[in-house]
């Protein structure tokens, strides 16, 4: 269905929460409401005008079912466990926004709408990167305090999209290079080890996606080595120009040696948090099956108090009480939803990543110009940022990240289903032509080819990566589709 306001709804859905920020508990919630309500209203408007699939997809059915189990199950757990309703609503909101984003993107949008959705998502992540850095620096304080606020909640999502352009699509422009270098600088200023690990994981994943055969893997490995060398040189130059940042990194790396236990206190607090969540969930049969609920209180496990000697006094240690989404996405899902409602979301994400990446490598080798293949590749890198981000925290603890991951997951599942359907149609068409040729060897085999539903196979102009300009050539870039989708 055509709607002249669709592009407005798309931007209104994705852009406002890019300027989201964490306010103090005593601060007014008016700004938070003004950012969230328009996004949710725009999502509803997009759902009302969105087209529907005419064919089934087992992956789409499975992922949709598991997401609904997570959200609907959270309400059941809330009724059974009786947690604070305000805390429950604040913690479950990013998951609900993720579900909305998934439903909006997991539709057979035409090529123009897909380009608009991806462009809006890209520029929203850029806006979030700039706003988070500016807001963090404006709050003042030294690097030790500012570094916690300058990193966007979709930092690795943006890096994943840029890595797709460099490694998979082989499209390099001045703007994307400068933007990626800006993310590296912010990463260094944040002095956050988990971000570096996440970037490395995305880099390896992008290299693997770009290499559907051993020969391609060797070439991709060489490109990856070259890019890694350039990044290493940039890090060394940054350390020379900004000795204070290098000193902070040195302190972070050797912080464990200065503690009484000789163990890294950040790692210990994360383990203590996970241990308490696990122990609470395993405390009774009901919690094992339905969890403790989103927004339920948790603390640090006393088992780790000796390892934090000198960092916390026993009084401060036992006074810790948290209700927000935990730092570990995987354990928190079990803590919040148990076996019935908690593990559904991790299964949906991992299975979609596995099926999508394996299919992408196969289709890239067999039919590199297949329709929707670039959309699938970009969505895979953004969704892969979720497990990469979970190395250092819960990626679904923030509203904007919930929207972005939901949209990326929807694009992944929708593109996978449409490519698979087109591949089946192509195979059936080839089989029917071969059968026709055997039966009527004296007639031209293409006489009745127009009777087949080949609308998804007609060649057209190349579709460029949304929001990322590149120079047009006679031949389409390797990462762009040379077939126009017809939804």
- Report how far Cα 266 is from the mean position of its chain's Cα atoms: 24
Question: Higher pLDDT residue, 32 or 215?
Answer: 32
Whether the per-residue pLDDT at 175 is higher than 70: the answer is: yes
Question: Higher pLDDT residue, 230 or 14?
Answer: 14
Give the pLDDT mean for 25-52. 86
Whether the per-residue pLDDT at 200 is higher than 50: the answer is: yes
- Write down the residue that tokens 């308490």 correspond to: 276
Residue 29: pLDDT band with limits 50, 70, 90: confident
Whether the per-residue pLDDT at 483 is higher than 90: the answer is: no
Residue 475: pLDDT band with limits 50, 70, 90: very low
Give 456's contacts (C-beta < 8 A, 6+ positions apart): 371, 418, 421, 422, 425, 483, 485, 486
Give the pLDDT mean for 298-320. 83
Q: What percent of the chain has pLDDT over 70?
A: 77
CA distance 198 to 157: 10
Can you say whether the dihedral through the CA atoms of 389, 404, 189, 202 is positive or negative? positive
Least confident range of 67-81, 324-338, 394-408, 434-448 = 434-448
Give the pLDDT mean for 125-135. 94
Query: Looking at residue 487, what is its pLDDT?
Result: 31
Count helices and strands (H / E) in the chain.
Answer: 18, 2
Query: Looking at residue 222, what is its pLDDT?
Result: 67
Whether the per-residue pLDDT at 347 is higher than 50: the answer is: yes
Whether the per-residue pLDDT at 408 is higher than 60: the answer is: yes
The helix/strand/coil state of 148 is coil
CA distance 310 to 318: 15
Give the pLDDT mean for 358-373. 90
Partner residues linked to 463 by β-bridges: 481
CA distance 235 to 101: 36
Longest dimension (CA), the chain: 92
CA distance 385 to 163: 11
Question: Higher pLDDT residue, 277 or 235?
Answer: 277
Query: Looking at residue 194, what is its pLDDT?
Result: 87
Q: Where are the domains of the chain?
A: 1-487
Inter-residue long-range contacts of 318-322, CB under 8 Å, 24+ positions, other chains counted: 321/297, 322/273, 322/297, 322/298
Least confident range of 148-152, 302-306, 416-420, 425-429 = 425-429
Partner residues linked to 312 by β-bridges: 309
Whether the per-residue pLDDT at 387 is higher than 90: the answer is: yes
Give the pLDDT mean for 390-416. 94
Give the pLDDT mean for 270-285. 93
CA distance 280 to 83: 14
Give the pTM. Answer: 0.85
CA nearest to 423, candidates 487, 354, 360 = 360
Query: Looking at residue 143, what is its pLDDT?
Result: 64
Average per-residue pLDDT for the chain: 82
Query: Looking at residue 342, what is its pLDDT?
Result: 94
Whether the per-residue pLDDT at 56 is higher than 80: the answer is: yes
Question: Higher pLDDT residue, 120 or 149?
Answer: 120
Whether the per-residue pLDDT at 51 is higher than 60: the answer is: yes
Helix ranges, 50-142 (H): 58-81, 85-105, 111-138
Question: Higher pLDDT residue, 95 or 313?
Answer: 95
The helix or strand, by DSSP H or E, that contains position 419, with its residue range, turns out to be: helix 399-439
The helix/strand/coil state of 468 is coil
Query: Looking at residue 455, what is its pLDDT?
Result: 42
Query: Looking at residue 449, what is its pLDDT?
Result: 42
Query: Looking at residue 468, what is its pLDDT?
Result: 45
């Amino acid at each position: 269905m055509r709607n002249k306001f669709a592009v407005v709804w798309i931007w209104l859905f994705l852009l406002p929460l890019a300027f989201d920020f964490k306010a103090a508990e005593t601060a007014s919630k008016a700004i938070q409401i003004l950012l969230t309500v328009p996004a949710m209203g725009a999502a509803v408007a997009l759902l009302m005008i969105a087209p529907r699939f005419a064919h089934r997809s087992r992956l789409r059915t499975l992922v949709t079912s598991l997401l609904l189990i997570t959200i609907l199950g959270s309400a059941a757990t809330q009724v059974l466990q009786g947690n604070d309703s305000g805390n429950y609503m604040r913690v479950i909101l990013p998951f609900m926004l993720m579900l909305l984003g998934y439903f909006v993107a997991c539709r057979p949008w035409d090529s123009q709408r897909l380009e608009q959705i991806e462009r809006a998502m890209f520029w929203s992540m850029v806006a979030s990167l700039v706003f988070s850095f500016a807001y963090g620096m404006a709050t003042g304080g030294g690097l030790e305090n500012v570094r916690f606020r300058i990193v966007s909640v979709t930092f690795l999502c943006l890096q994943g999209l840029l890595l797709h352009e460099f490694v998979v699509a082989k499209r390099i422009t001045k703007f994307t290079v400068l933007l990626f270098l800006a993310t590296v600088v912010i990463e260094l200023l944040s002095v956050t080890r988990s971000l570096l690990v996440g970037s490395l994981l995305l880099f390896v994943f992008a290299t693997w996606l770009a290499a559907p055969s051993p020969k391609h893997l060797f070439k991709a490995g060489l490109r990856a080595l070259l890019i890694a060398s350039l990044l290493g040189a940039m890090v060394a130059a940054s350390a020379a120009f900004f000795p204070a940042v290098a000193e902070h990194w040195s302190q972070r790396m050797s912080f464990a040696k200065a503690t009484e236990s000789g163990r890294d206190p950040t790692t210990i607090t994360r383990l203590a948090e996970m241990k308490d969540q696990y122990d609470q969930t395993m405390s009774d049969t009901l919690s094992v099956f339905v969890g403790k609920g989103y927004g339920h209180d948790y603390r640090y496990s006393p088992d780790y108090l000796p390892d934090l000697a000198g960092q916390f006094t026993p009084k401060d240690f036992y006074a810790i009480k948290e209700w927000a989404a935990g730092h570990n996405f995987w354990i928190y899902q079990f803590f919040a939803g148990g076996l019935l409602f908690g593990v559904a979301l991790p299964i949906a994400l991992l299975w979609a990543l596995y099926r999508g990446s394996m299919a992408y490598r196969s289709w890239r080798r067999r039919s590199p110009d297949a329709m929707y293949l670039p959309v699938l590749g970009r969505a895979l890198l953004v969704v892969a940022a979720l497990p990469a981000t979970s190395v250092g925290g819960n990626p679904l603890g923030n509203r904007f990240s919930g929207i972005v991951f939901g949209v990326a997951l929807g694009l992944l599942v929708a593109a996978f289903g449409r490519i698979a359907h087109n591949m089946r149609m192509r195979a059936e068409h080839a089989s029917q032509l071969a059968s026709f040729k055997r039966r009527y060897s004296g007639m031209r085999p293409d006489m009745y080819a127009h009777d087949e539903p080949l609308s998804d196979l007609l060649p057209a102009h190349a579709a460029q990566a949304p929001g990322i300009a590149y120079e047009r050539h006679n031949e389409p870039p390797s990462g762009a589709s040379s077939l126009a989708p017809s939804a």
